[in-house]
Structure 1
């Protein structure tokens, strides 16, 4: 996969990609808590909410590597509008669903759409960024996700009221419209295509990619960070119900985490210069693990807000740095597949972590999954220490 710097079009393509990602992620981040509230209105318990959250990642778990293979040997851009259509369709149909099984199915469609968009978008960033630009460009790219995670939960919290069934359905329909807006930013976004030598090259086996030093560690760090973000989004409404926290306040807490993540990514480049990639990744995973575990304690609302702000900053480093780690460690001609394997790990975490969280919550209480997340981030920190230095 060839690399290119900004080129004659400057970095306008990256700005438009960030905008599109912001709307697509905003739709998903608005829909995820709305799905949890709608499931609760249909009679779901903690275990059922965990299963529905896990199904969101189930279809992508099997589709990621084939999509990555296709992207390594072809264009990236077509995946983006296709993903948006699936996201918006999944949101709208979740709002119309009248059973938990239907909600789970449409959540899976939403997850597949998100996967298509992210594989295409990450591959464009990797392909159109010079190696020394990747930390910066991946950091800026993921600001789009953080913007969506900032606005989405606030919008969901503002729409969901006392009539949880009706208002959560409305929030899901609005999220479908938000996702569709991203289509306006996706024109002529891909400028660098794979060279003929890459298109005709023999495919690198999956095991060969996974044996490359740095790839497994980058995949696990990404899995742990995304699992933490995902369970916070899916389970904070349940915790809020138990602690008497209103849906609007839950939305503000989730958006506070996203705002802190944006702040982290805006100062990513100077932090890497000051600390180095390995130290930054290790330190943020360790502190994030402590904060996640601390959320199991019955802290007051102001303390929970401070913890969410600090946790958001810590979680902000994991995704862009793991992208760069995987892209630079992967063999030539297999970088999109390596990114897809990273996303497969993410989706595996999104299947296993919510289901495990649901079981743990059912046995030990709704706060127990946060302790599980703390352990996952501690393990990620140990693997980050061993990652290769750039």
Structure 2
């Protein structure tokens, strides 16, 4: 895939994903301003991920049948409609509908774009390269969306955070997906992969019969859970250590910057690394850091640990995506991506509740150590991974 085309697809994902990220900031703030409780706001925020759990598999199948442009067109309509509805009716029930629409559109976009760039890659090294670049898009979008929304909420109205400023914010969020469509409408579709002769009807769950796919999904879940536990438990650990909110936020920010930076560097080393080698190294480093983290009391030491963990976990997703495209049939890439996204989002919904309950019983340090032990045991599964090019 040419660099210019890949850059255009990355920018397209940034614009659509930024709509969800901006709405995820703006709608809770408006709901709180209207007097809704923190519990209601928590439900609102969870709705952004809910549709990605249930729509991931249908979106994957749809992408397998129709390629890139049709799924992207529907996602653009859904995301613009979601933001536009709140622009017209800025009330809580409509905010919930908007969360479902923009969240679902973002998930479908991720699947369609990942499938497209994976199909366009010419070799395993090319897979690692393109997925390293594409993995930068969510990080960029999670900065652009809230940053633009925050600026507009504070400065687009007569006074900060009045209803006019929120309406202007929602209008800008509704226009961002249109830019996404302008960027992808001329994208060249790879030739469709015909179904194997005599192939019977399949279900996405059939993919789990393949041991290598099961192992890859399990390893991906381990890494995603590590990411979730760090984001969820670090603020609690920092509070126990007496750190201020700005210090805790800086430590989490250092993690995010490191995760994005390693993805910028990965394409330079794609030819000299193997997927299994990177994932195994990340697994061992992550397990070690989780064992050390609860023993740290200095903010600087925790920040250093956070940076190293960001490098470790940030390197994994491009390798996972590269292997997934090599071990699944071409005509089922969308289904495989949908199954992966469904698993990760379901885990992200459930894991914080589990971590919170475990922390109340065994303490925050115990949560780190248990997760670190589980990740370390998962290294045996990582060792069994071996990528192969699938037909």
- TM-score of the superposed pair, with normalisation by structure 2: 0.76
Count residues in correspondence.
Answer: 376
- Which residue of structure 1 lines up, in the alignment, with residue 76 of structure 2? 84
Aligned to 1:3: none
Assess if the C-alpha contact under 8 Å between 1:213 and 1:387 holds in 2: no
Q: Which SS does the other structure have where 1:287 is aligned?
A: helix
Q: What is the distance in 1 between the residues matched to 2:291 and 2:345?
A: 22
Distance in 2, Cα, partners of 1:157 & 1:366:
32
Q: Which of these residues, 370, 381, 384, is aligned with residue 383 of structure 1?
A: 381
Cα gap change, 1:112/1:309 in structure 2, threshold over 3 Å: closer, same or farther? same
**Residue of structure 1 equivalent to 2:349:** 351
Please report how far the alpha carbon of residue 335 of structure 1 lies from its aligned counterpart in structure 2 after TM superposition.
1.8
Give the 3-state SS of the residue equivalent to 1:130 in structure 2: coil
- CA deviation string 1:194-220 (max 9, x = no partner): 145569954434343212232122223
Give the corresponding residue for 2:10.
18
Higher Rg? 2
Match of 1:331 among 323, 329, 341: 329
Distance 1:184 1:316, change over 3 A: same
Residues 1:146 and 1:56: Cα distance change in structure 2 (over 3 Å): same
- How many Å separate the matches in 1 of 2:167 and 2:249? 16
1:198–1:82 Cα change, 3 Å: farther
- Counterpart residue number, 1:318: 316
Would you say the 8 A contact 1:54–1:352 is kept in 2? no
Which residue in the other structure is 2:128 paired with? 135
Deviates more, 1:171-180 or 1:277-286: 171-180
Tell me, what secondary structure is at the counterpart of 1:188? Answer: coil
What are the within-5 Å matches in structure 2 for residues 164-243 of structure 1?
173=170, 175-197=173-195, 202-229=200-227
Deviates more, 1:307-316 or 1:271-280: 271-280
Deviation of 1:118 (Å): 0.8
Where structure 1 has 5 or more consecutive residues not aligned to the other structure, the ranges are 1-5
Aligned partner of residue 192 in structure 1, secondary structure: coil
* Cα separation, 2, equivalents of 1:160 and 1:240: 30
More deviation, 345-354/356-365: 356-365
User: Aligned-residue CA RMSD in angstroms?
Assistant: 4.3
Unaligned runs of 5+ in 2: none
For residue 263 of structure 1, report the CA deviation from its aligned partner: 2.0
Please name the residue that 2:278 is paired with. 280
Structure 2 residue aligned with 1:71, among 63, 66, 83? 63
Aligned counterpart, 2:52: 60
Which structure has more relative contact order (CA 8 Å, sep 6+)? It is 1
Query: Per the alignment, in what secondary structure is the counterpart of residue 191 of structure 1?
Result: coil
What pairs up with 1:113-152 in 2 under 5 angstroms?
A: 113-132=105-124, 133-152=126-145
1:44 aligned partner: 38
Shift of 1:17: 0.5
Q: TM-score, normalised by structure 1?
A: 0.76
Corresponding residue number in structure 2 for 1:259: 257
Summarize deviations over 1:259-279 as a string: whole Å, max 9, x none. 322321223245455453212
Instruction: Please give the alpha-carbon distance, in whole angstroms, between the structure 1 residues aligned to 2:269 and 2:168.
Output: 37
Equivalent position SS for 1:327: helix
Counterparts of 1:270 and 1:59 in 2: how far apart (Å)? Answer: 36
In the alignment, what sits opposite 2:245? 245
Per-residue CA distance 1:285-319 (angstroms, 9 max, x = gap)? 33334546766678455444433332222222221
Q: Which moved more, 1:293-302 or 1:342-351?
A: 293-302
